[in-house]
Structure 1
Amino acid sequence: MTDRQRTTRLDLSRRHLLRCFGAGAVTAFALPWAGRALADPIFSTYPFQLGIASGEPAPDGFVIWTRLAPDPFALDHGMPSAGVEVAWEVAEDERFQTVAQKGVAVARPELGHAVHVEVAGLKPGRPYWYRFVAGRERSGTGRAMTTPTFGAPLDRVRFAVAGCQNYEQGYFTAHRHLASQNPDFVFCYGDYIYEGRGNRLRNGPDGPVESVRQHFGGEIYSIEDYRRRYAQYKMDTDLQAAHAAAPWFVTWDDHEIDNNWVDSLDQDGTPAPVFALRRQMAMQAYYEHMPLRASSLPVGPSMQLYRQARYGNLLDLNLLDTRQYRTDQPCGDRWGAGCTDISQRQAEVLGKRQHDWLMGNLSGSKAKWKALAQQVMVMDLDREPGPETTENLDSWAGYRVPRERLLAGIRDRRVSNAVVLTGDEHQNYAGELHIDGKNPGRDPIATEFVATSITSGGDGEDQRPQTVEIQKVNPQLKFHNSRRGYLMCDVDGERWQTEYIVMDQVSDRKGIASSRQKLVVEAGAARLQLG
């Protein structure tokens, strides 16, 4: 990276901070700490309780993250009301014999003593290792990878897709298995935390079921509530292992703020100005706990999360936000037969600016594969076979006009090799995308892989009887499974293979992971085949 490029990157951060927060923020975020910092603190307990992480890889670097929290559930999380210096190192080898970059950051109380270091000046397309030191305490070691140079020839990329990890409904054993796969990166599609109160019991299909473990406290509303909830999840060592194994690209779905929220609306009819306060606190806590760049710093109750990552000439990854710019769910957001509101012309899922940004990316892409990494199912499924069509109104199916606009945009621009990556459903699905699933055209427009949950929904079963019936009347749906787990995507110039990794159980830490199915899309066609 040249000095001019480094200056440009810093200037971009300065412009973002000046525009959003004013001149004082440049000192607070982008420049060295000007106030009093504790340079050599002594901690009564280990300060890296929440682990470490990397994310947002680029050809010259990535973000490395940690948050100092010796006592994660305390109001002050065991930290003083002052900034604390944290040293960091990035090395070319696991033993740190060749240090590539190092420096000192400040864990600021305004951000819950979180640290986000945007490391630059590294070599493209290779692994690095990183760690932090605060006072006399050293963190564990994490592995990150830079991306290849933009447009450079790339033979292969291998990555994981995961999300929906309800703490109360299972153990995160799948994350430990994911870490052992050493992916190039992880895409987390959301529902990283769940916002509800702690419950010893939940309703199961055969009556009350005791929660595997229990959330701390009631439903979360304040910044301290959200911080404690993230801390409870982050303290899970299996999740820490997955973060330490590879860089993550993260986006949210609904439970990071409130179930089924969109734009300024929550599910309880809270006045918009009041809900905006909750969103603002939830978004700050989200930023504090994710390996994101300063460009994603919340600005009031909004946050920039849609963005693009590029892997040489092989893969463009378009990360989308399907919550922040969406209009209200139609038909009162009821699960059941669709109503005429699902065809509202003014409805939005991405919003015009994000939609136009995405179409520009797809039109201009020179990569072999174009991925849409997002949250809710695009596939058009009739959810209950019978005389009336039943839709999931919190998916793209509840928004017919934006859905058609999305798929027609891919078709009309002749975008080849488009693959949609999705979560939210707590089941594995794979299918082909048509504008009208009931009357599909000759050739699919794109392919969709839907990842099940890490834990949400409990142990599950191989296939739900109801979903077997759904597949019979939805020929575009090619595979389904109802176990917990994650996806491993193995992509080269000739084909995209998605492997469905499932757990036999998540109610016990001894759950075993196995490969349930491999599905393949050949380059130049959007049809699914068995791997």
Structure 2
Amino acid sequence: MAPTGRHSRPAEHAFSPHDAVMGAAARHLGRRRFLTVTAAAAALAFSTNLPARGAVAAPLRTARISSDPFTLGVASGDPLPDSVLLWTRLAPEPFLEDGGMGTERVAVEWEVALDEYFAAVLFRGTADAHAEYNHSVHVDVKGLTAGTVYYYRFRTGAWLSPTGRTRTAPPADSATSTLRLAAVACQAYQDGYYTVHRHLAQEDVDVVFHLGDYLYEYAVNSEGGERRYTDVVLPDVFNRETMTLADYRLRYSLYKSDEDLRAAHAAHPFVVTWDDHETENNYAGSIPENGIPPEEFLLRRAAAYRAFWENQPLRTAQLPQGPDARLYRRLHWGTLAQFDILDTRQYRSDQAYDDRPHAPGPESDDPARTITGAAQEQWLLDGWQSSAALWNVMPQQVCFSQRKFDVTADAPLSMDAWDGYRASRARVVAGARAAGVENWLILTGDVHVGYALDVKENFDDPASATVGTEVTCTSVASGRDGVERPANWDLYMRANPHMRFYDGRRGYVRAELDRQATRLDFRTVSAISTPGAPIGTAASFVTEAGAPGLNPA
């Protein structure tokens, strides 16, 4: 039995956002430039302060909530052998800035059991939902049994949350035989229904990797964009680009109001990372897409990062300090798989050639350019050197493999993907080879299509060694319905001989890893413009352990 005492937020994670933003931004920019930030700009990013160290807590409130506060559902994430992170957020009025909760601190009870009926509760405790964290709750439940399915729920006052299902990872040194995972990305609410998430909720997978673009910063009109078959009329607060902390919080409320997304979270533990749209399209480190001064953009980034943490099943290790957050991290599934979850947005150099498609050149090939930052790159390479896993899986955001847009000798490449950071990619490929990584699987989002790619030691030489496998998981909704063969299908397949598959429909990738091989299934739906499309498998591939490269299943 687990202890039944309170799970309070550790004091070391209580800080003033004003101090944290100012300090971190100053480290990025230097004091002289940073002091140009006005008080008005700071107020734009933050409307509340987090509890200060040593401050007397506001009184607890457990009643007087007149309607269901669990409108945004429940979630779990980052499973370890002995713990898992549980999440919820109280919001009886999710389309109000405060969620209808006011400013008081609220006690929330949580329970964990082996059965969905909670006949025998094994773990329970109480967590505080602080207004300063938008009444989100993050509970790191420890002392769990490895490799076990659990059910969890929350309660406050008379209200009971939906039940979530989660699981722990196997023991760290166990020779686990199988793992089933899914990878999803890119879910622009306004582009269509989350039919993909409804099917994902019904999949028999151990864990889901969300590879970024969980939300989009663009305005959503009162009809919800393409969601014309619902009777919901959205308030004007969504019909503008997200800029402030309140904007980002409300946008998560909109996305999590979708019952299919909530169902997927309730069914499986998620491992999340971000790409650009959780903050702003194609930003690079502290450099925004447009001509806004970096010191102002960092305030926006701080707001976006904080709202991301508040609304995702993440531990306090990922809690932002102003505009900085350590999102890259490592998880394991026994000795079968090591997951190195990357962040290719926060630390990258600015895109070369004004972020326009361009042939490789001195600017994009500058060895000083990086997509990961030096510290994360070294962390990745060191992790491979010490890995005891059979499969080294790298969940990340943008296309790692070369992707030519034409068959000409000087074909343009994407400057936002690893093609715009070729020295960075070369160092990572060399690091994988030096570490003896034989079974390298890269999970990618961003591009709104499904690709299956052989990762080559030299992409310009089709005969060079294949060193790994990359799959892009298409999108949940971004790009609207999509088609099986986009107009550029033949061109891309000819221009990129290492590209083994290309499909433009919405869906996700399902992978089954075992000791002999990994099977990859591209799961797609025919449409998301109307709800209820069936799911099918567009293609399946196998990559064998010790023999990198894709083969039809």
Does the alignment reach a TM-score above 0.5? yes
Bigger mean CA offset, 420-429 vs 336-345: 336-345
Who is 2:527 aligned against? 505
Structure 2: how far apart are the matches of 1:152 and 1:97?
30
Residue type at the aligned position of 1:398: G
The residue identity in structure 2 corresponding to 1:389 is A
- Structure 1 residues 74 and 382, CA, compared in 2 at 3 Å: closer, same or farther? same
Stretch of structure 1 that moved more, 40-49 or 238-247: 40-49
Q: 2:135 aligned to 113, 116, 126, which one?
A: 113
The one of 209, 226, 237 equivalent to 1:211 is: 226
Q: 1:265 to 1:201 in 2, by over 3 A?
A: farther
Counterpart residue number, 1:150: 172
TM-superposed CA distance for 1:16, in Å, is 6.5
Could you list the per-position Cα deviations for residues 372-400 of structure 1 after superposition, in whole angstroms to 9, with x for gaps in the alignment? 11000011121122342110111000111
Cα distance 1:277–1:450, how it changes in 2: closer, same or farther (>3 A)? same
Tell me how far apart the structure 2 counterparts of residues 479 and 304 of structure 1 sit (CA, whole Å): 34
Matched, 1:319 2:341: yes
- Residue 329 (str. 1) matches residue 344 (str. 2): no
The alpha-carbon deviation at position 73 of structure 1 amounts to: 1.4
Query: Which amino acid is 1:185 matched to?
Result: V
Counterpart in the other structure of 2:419: 397
* Residues 86-165 of structure 1 mapped to structure 2, 5 A cutoff: 86-165=108-187
What amino acid is aligned across from residue 224 of structure 1 in structure 2?
A: A
CA distance in 2 between counterparts of 1:402 and 1:29 reads 40
Give a deviation string over 1:14-39, Cα, whole Å, max 9, x none.
666699989xxxx95999x9623334
Aligned to 1:466: 488
Superposed displacement of residue 342, structure 1: 1.1
Residue of structure 1 aligned with 2:370, choices 345, 348, 352: 348
Shift of 1:413: 2.3
Which among 212, 215, 224 is matched to residue 246 of structure 2?
Answer: 224
The one-letter amino acid paired with 2:494 is K
Superposed displacement of residue 527, structure 1? 1.2
Amino acid aligned to 2:289:
Q
User: 1:99 & 1:60 partners in 2: Cα distance?
Assistant: 17
Partner of 1:384: 406
Q: Distance in 2 between matches of 1:130 and 1:467?
A: 45
Q: 2:106 aligns with which of 75, 79, 84?
A: 84
Cα 1:190–1:121 change in 2 (3 A) is same
In structure 2, distance between residues paired with 1:291 and 1:427: 26
The equivalent residue for 2:264 is 242
1:394 partner SS:
coil
Query: Aligned partners of 2:487, 2:297: CA distance in 1, in Å?
Result: 39
CA distance in 2, matches of 1:37, 1:53: 27
Partner of 2:97: 75
SS in 2 for 1:193: coil
The residue number in structure 2 matching 1:206 is none
Q: Tell me the secondary structure at the aligned position of residue 378 of structure 2.
A: helix
- Once the two structures are TM-superposed, the CA of residue 72 in structure 1 deviates from its matched residue by 1.1
Deviation at 1:133, TM superposition (A): 0.4
1-structure distance, mates of 2:468, 2:13: 35
Instruction: Name the CA shift for 1:299/1:358 in 2 (closer, same or farther; >3 Å).
Output: same
Which amino acid letter does the alignment assign opposite residue 138 of structure 2? H
- Whole-Å separation in 2 of the counterparts to 1:46 and 1:10: 24
SS for the counterpart of 1:342 is: coil
Aligned length: 514
The CA distance in 1 between the partners of 2:95 and 2:389, in whole Å, is: 45
- Deviation string 1:393-421 (CA, Å, 9 cap, x unpaired) is 11000111101111111112221101111
1:47 equivalent in structure 2? 69
Q: Which residue of 1 aligns with 2:32?
A: none
**Amino acid across the alignment from 1:222:** T
Q: CA–CA distance in 1 between the matches of 2:435 and 2:2?
A: 36
Shift in alpha-carbon separation, 1:361–1:383, aligned structure 2, 3 A: same
Aligned-partner Cα distance in 2 for 1:268–1:464 = 30
- Structure 1 unaligned blocks of 5 or more: 203-209
The residue aligned with 1:517 is 539
**Contact map agreement 1:377 1:422 (CA 8 A) in 2:** yes
CA distance in 2, matches of 1:279, 1:478: 37
Give me the whole-angstrom Cα distance separating, in 2, the residues matched to 1:120 and 1:468.
51
Find 1:273's aligned residue among 290, 295, 301: 295
Query: What does residue range 176-195 of structure 1 map to in structure 2 within 5 Å?
Result: 176-195=198-217
Aligned positions of 1:250-265 closer than 5 A: 250-265=272-287
Distance across 2 between alignment mates of 1:269 and 1:467? 35
Aligned with 2:547: secondary structure? coil
Q: How much does 1:336 deviate?
A: 4.2
Q: Which moved more, 1:244-253 or 1:97-106?
A: 97-106
Specify the SS of the correspondent of 2:363: helix
Deviation at 1:2, TM superposition (A): 11
Tell me if the contact between 2:15 and 2:53 (Cα under 8 Å) persists in the aligned partners: no
Structure 1 residue aligned with 2:34: none
Deviation per CA, 1:337-362, whole angstroms, max 9, x where unpaired? 44431111110111111111111111
Which string of whole-angstrom CA distances, capped at 9 and with x for unpartnered residues, describes residues 451-493 of structure 1? 1000100111001131222111311111110000001110100
Q: Is the 8 A contact 2:406 2:495 kept in 1?
A: no
Displacement of 1:523: 0.2
1:212 aligned partner, one-letter code: R
Separation (CA, whole Å) in 2 of partners of 1:253 and 1:302: 14
The equivalent position to 1:65 in structure 2, one of 64, 87, 90, is 87
Shift of 1:50: 0.6
Relative to 1, partners in 2 of residues 1:18 and 1:509: Cα closer, same or farther, differing over 3 Å? Answer: closer
Alpha-carbon distance between aligned partners in 2 of 1:377 and 1:333, rounded to the nearest angstrom: 15
**In 2, Cα distance between equivalents of 1:512 and 1:136:** 38
SS for the counterpart of 1:429 is strand
SS, match of residue 81 in structure 1: coil
Any idea what the Cα deviations from partners look like across 1:284-327, whole Å, max 9, x if unmatched?
10001000000111001010100001000100011000001100
2:62/2:108 contact within 8 Å kept = no
- Whole-angstrom distance in 2 between the partners of 1:290 and 1:475: 38
Equivalent residues of 2:524, 2:536 under 8 A apart: yes
Between the aligned residues of both structures, percent identity stands at 38
Given the alignment, which residue of 303, 316, 319 partners 1:294?
316
Secondary structure, aligned partner of 1:393 = coil
Query: 1:79-133 CA distances to partner (integer Å, 9 max, x unpaired)?
Result: 1211011110011111111211101111000000000001001110010000000
